[in-house]
Amino acid sequence: MMEAGAKRRSGSARRALRRRAVFFWVTTLICVLLVPAMPPELRWVAWATAGLGAFWAILQSLEDLVSPRGTPIVEGGLAIDRLSMLGGATPFDPPPPPGEPPPKPS
């Protein structure tokens, strides 16, 4: 189900990376640019951080490129209605309103 105000992605051929992938690409670039400024005995930290950032950037980019098109988007991010994916039912009752004691188990 789509929420109110949600839009569908257009079927354009160009696919944009989501914010998470862009974040990891930018942090990887920053770590690589900081390598010359690091003392020689601590440069391994910048390279290790850049390597870890590159690993996550590649994985997030692959996920964005492989994910199906037409997923609903809400202003500011991806909207996934997991309850509708599970059929709408949950095995638990909703929590009590604030200020009321929890119900006793039967």
Q: How far is CA 84 from CA 4, 34, 43, 76, 79, in A?
A: 15, 45, 48, 21, 12
Query: Per-residue pLDDT tens for 70-87?
Result: 555 555 554 555 555 555
Percent of the chain scoring above 70 in pLDDT: 63
Cβ–Cβ under 8 Å, residues 15 and 66: no
Rounded to whole angstroms, how far apart are CA atoms 15 and 13? Answer: 6
Residue with tokens 């990376």: 17
Rounded to whole angstroms, how far apart are CA atoms 74 and 3? Answer: 8
Query: Per-residue pLDDT tens for 2-36?
Result: 455 555 555 555 667 788 899 999 999 999 999 99
